[in-house]
Amino acid sequence: MSKEERPQPQRQTTMNPAHNEANTSIPVTPGITDAAYIDQNPFSKDFSESLPAFDASAGTSGPQWNSNGPPDGGSGDDLLRSMSDSTRAQYPDLADVDPRSTHPGLNLSGHIISATFCVPYKIAYAPGAEWELHSRRGTSALFDSFSYLASTESPWNHTLVGWTGEINLAPPKNSAMSNGVANSSLHAHPINKASAPIPLDTKHSPKDQQEPTELRIPPEERRRLEVQLERDHGGRVCPVWLPDSVDDDEVFTLKNQQQWRRYAEHELFTLFHYKTNEPADGRALRKAWADYYRLNTAFADAIMSVFKPGDIVLVHDYHLLLLPNMLRQRVSTIYVGFFLHVPFPSSEYYRCLTRRKEVLEGMLGANMIGFQAYAYSRHFSSCCTRILGFDSSSAGVDAFGTHIAVDVFPIGINAGSALLSAFESPEVEKKVKALKELYAGKLIIVGRDRLDSVRGVAQKLQAFEIFLERHPAMRDKVVLIQVTSPTSIEDQSDGIDKTANKISDLVSRINGEYGSLSFTPVQHYPQYLPKEEYFALLRIADLGLITSVRDGMNTTALEYVVCQRDNHGPLIISEFSGTAGSLGDALHINPWDLSGTADAINIALTMTDEEKRVAHAQLYNQVTRNTVQAWTSNYLKRLLTNLSSFDQSSATPLLDRAKLLQQYRNSSRRLFMFDYDGTLTPIVKDPQAAIPSDRVIRTLKALASDPNNAVWIISGRDQAFLDEWMGHIPELGLSAEHGSFMRHPNTANWENLTETFDMSWQSKVLEVFEYYTSKTPGAFVERKKIALTWHYRRAEQENAKVMVRECQKNLEQTVAKTYDVEVMTGKANLEVRPRFVNKGEIAKKLVKAYGSATHHMPDFVLCLGDDFTDEDMFRSLNASKLNRDHVFAVTVGASNKQTLAQWHLLEPADVISAVALLNGQSDSGNVGAIAVVDGGVPESRL
């Protein structure tokens, strides 16, 4: 039938299908029955045969879940050896075959735990029956990576940990929804395939399908799901449950399930794509942050339930940014890799995030952090330096006593599976034929994007409009087929999707201006596409057009290249897409430059066959060689190399505030020991200017007023300074000059612990200090009763560092050999003091005195300090007989030092915030810990 004879579909007013998921799988091609659109489970099909010609040795041929369990009941070690033997011939690199042999010092178990936000299935609950599992749309490349790790072609055992997602109640078996009929073209609201969709009725919102307000799931039903996931889908899947409440019978109640997405998708996703939200009073934001914290905590607990020493944990994407640090808080030597699949913004934009420190600290719990593009890795390292104060370079960040590698790993797709799906399916061939008939004689531009503003669909349409305006000869020859699938990311206002309406308006305008009764230049389908129809559309396209304004990985571009194996259609891709860097032979455009994009469309459509063939050959080689299997292997090999290269045993995790709060509440005999400079107050150039803030005084006073708390300030400061600024709090104990003097709580007298010691060494030290002061403008000497300190913070630092080395060497070779004193380097100072006087002795004395007074040892000890003199306290506590779970030794500061402390805080403000948490005073940084301990945050503390 010719184009003139073919009847044109009549225009019909329809509701935007993006608002009704029952209508989002409608076929775009004509003449195909709805039976062909039953969604197939991509994890159950075996694509192990008939690969098209390309280097398939780069990875497994298709997604397939496999538990990697020993086939004959043998041990995991036997299985790993058998897998290594069977695949050795395929891999030239021993690291691909037997990672444990390549890195024997790591004591690897051969087991990988992958953490992703949601399991690969949408789950429906049918009480008393099998759970309904349907393949989850989106993130197909990531799911293919999990399939590869679980397959027999991988040398690893694999467990996937993910949230169940929003669980719905399964419809009755005899309903249209349960039979899949509602998703067919016969039962959905009809869509005119030759015209733009009609804009939404702005006065009426679409009615949502009624769902139960809550679901109650008993333990036997949860176990049924876990067994079903392993039995029916091969791979080991550990679901994370996020109940709103749990009753005495362990029945989980699920209510507001979407709350777990709120912070990640409303705050993080938005800002990471260079957008900001409207300001509000902050209560909803703090509630969302508390839920985000609880989400990550639940993942950490789930992973620990299956973790064993030697396992590797791979954490994926922005929903789980806090998880790496939470894992390290539980096991300080754990092996953790993290990969961010979305962009990471520049420091100037990232600083707008309210919880900017906590997010960076969470990510820095990993041993290696991967990004999709170099710009994203550079932005991350810059943020760690500018916001946290850590040293960084292109290779990584030095933080928490170790080196965290930062690298770039552009993700790929499962090229073998894509080729099979596109070229070996009879259903795809039928749709290709139907589409070619429908658009005979037309040049076809294809776009497939999610329905949110960062995908640049509006910019694409505007550029296409300019193209049609500039090239009248093309108006009846070119058609843009734009598919926009629903998204949960974008917020809606008053029930109306502004992005969808804007797109609809643009489509209507273009079609009204340049269309006719027989032809419509823009075919817009706001819906999901079945897999067969999607690949058919990519195959028949003459041009792929991707105009995202911010994007991490864009698998549509990669799948388009594969599907153009025979057609060689060019690809236009936004330079702001993370995939653009690995597709150098595509046409790169700035999506904000509408005129430039229009010119690129014209160039692409007028390229010669030879130009298209040459460009596509390079793109095809890139995509088929750098597959998701190769990406997974390369990431793991780089992670193992970094683990072997850097000492991970010295890493000090961030203080676990939830654990701190829980132990504080469970205790009744508490001992606190605080350093002063750099711990309670920031380091300043003039030591006399380091006075405590009003918040510090109020926080310490509230802490010391509890009769169960013994609170001490153990400082290098002299008695006069501590008396002036802390002496008015009678409940405080004070120790001056590193333990030389003590003033007990509720007393005014100082005890001199060094009064019998020979102090004649001071005159000789003073002579040396005065000599170097004369050579170092800005330096000065501080005379204490016991110690002498030479400060050079005000001096020119390059000269001062030379002088301090000479001064230290002089004193160590003279005074230190004659008298029982030690020469100690501090933060921009050099101090000489009696050797037996140190903070460690005071800490030991206080622990012992506490036990003698109460006949019980402390059941909670919090000790904080920032420099080397405080290491004596940590050493003393580590050598004590106190329960390890009752002691919190915390080093303070952003310097990448190795420490004897078990925990880390970045700055004095964090110290006060943590202590305020114990006092019951909440700030926004503590709501997460409160939510974990209390199961939620009261409105009064938001």
- pLDDT single digits (tens) 706-722: 999 999 999 989 999 99
Q: Tally Cβ neighbours within 10 Å of residue 9.
A: 12
Bridge partners (DSSP) of residue 482 are 447, 524
Alpha carbons 868 and 877: distance in angstroms, whole number: 15
Beta bridge partners of 125: 169
Mapped to the 3 state alphabet, what secondary structure does 540-596 carry? HCCEEEECCCCECCCHHHHHHHHHCCCCCCCEEEECCECCHHHCCCCEEECCCCHHH
For 900, phi then psi, to 5°, come to -90, -5
Output the six-digit token pair for 456: 């640049």
Taking 70 as the pLDDT cut, the residues of the chain under it are 1-95, 138-139, 173-212, 232-234, 488-497, 852-855
Kindly report the backbone phi and psi dihedral angles of residue 393, in degrees, each rounded to the nearest multiple of 5, phi listed first. Answer: -150, -175
DSSP 8-state class, residue 181: G
d(CA 444, CA 439): 8
Q: For the residues of 147-178, what is the DSSP string, one character each?
A: HHHHSTTSSSEEEEEEE--SPEEPPPTTSTTT
Fold of 760-834: Alpha-Beta Plaits (3.30.70)
Whether residue 564 contacts residue 557, with contact meaning beta carbons closer than 8 Å, is answered with no
Query: What is d(CA 890, CA 926) in angstroms, rounded to the nearest whole number?
Result: 17
C-alpha pair distances (Å), 479 with each of 465, 474, 505, 510, 566: 11, 9, 17, 11, 21
Q: How far apart are alpha carbons 662 and 140 in whole angstroms?
A: 40
Other Cβ atoms closer than 10 A to 12: 12
**Residue ranges covered by each domain of the chain:** 105-169+213-408, 415-626, 657-753+839-941, 760-834
DSSP string of 116-135, one letter each residue: EEE-SEEEEE-TTSPPEEEE
Residues 561, 564, 568, 573, CA torsion sign: negative
Q: How far from the centroid of its chain's Cα atoms is residue 93's Cα?
A: 30
The CATH number of 415-626 is 3.40.50.2000
pLDDT at site 282: 86
Q: What pLDDT is attached to residue 93?
A: 67
Report the candidate in 700, 739, 732, 722 with the shortest Cα–Cα distance to residue 841: 739
Contacts of residue 682, Cβ cutoff 8 Å, sequence gap at least 6: 690, 907, 908
**Partner residues linked to 468 by β-bridges:** none
- The whole-angstrom separation of Cα 903 and Cα 897 is 12
Three-class DSSP category at 877: helix
Using only the alpha carbons of the chain, give its radius of gyration.
33
HSE on the CB side for 868, CA within 13 Å? 9
pLDDT recorded at residue 423:
95
Contact predicate 405/367, CB 8 Å: yes
Out of 34, 675, 867, 872, which one is annotated catalytic?
A: 675
Provide CB contacts within 8 A for 5, sequence distance 6+.
none
The domain 657-753+839-941 is classified under which CATH number: 3.50.50.60, 3.40.50.1000, 3.60.15.10, 3.40.50.2300?
A: 3.40.50.1000
Lateral strand order in the sheet of 168-169: 132-135, 121-125, 168-169
Tally DSSP H helices, then E strands, for the chain: 31, 33
Interatomic CA distance for residues 850 and 875, integer angstroms: 18
Distance CA 732, CA 714 (A): 11
- Per CATH, 415-626 and 657-753+839-941 having the same topology is answered yes
Q: Look up 675 and say whether it is catalytic.
A: yes
- The most distant pair of C-alpha atoms in the chain lies apart, rounded to whole Å, by 113
662, 710, 706: which is closest to 886 by C-alpha? 662
- 105-169+213-408 has CATH 3.40.50.2000 classification: yes
Q: What is the tens place of the pLDDT at every residue in 356-394?
A: 999 999 999 999 999 999 999 999 999 999 999 999 998
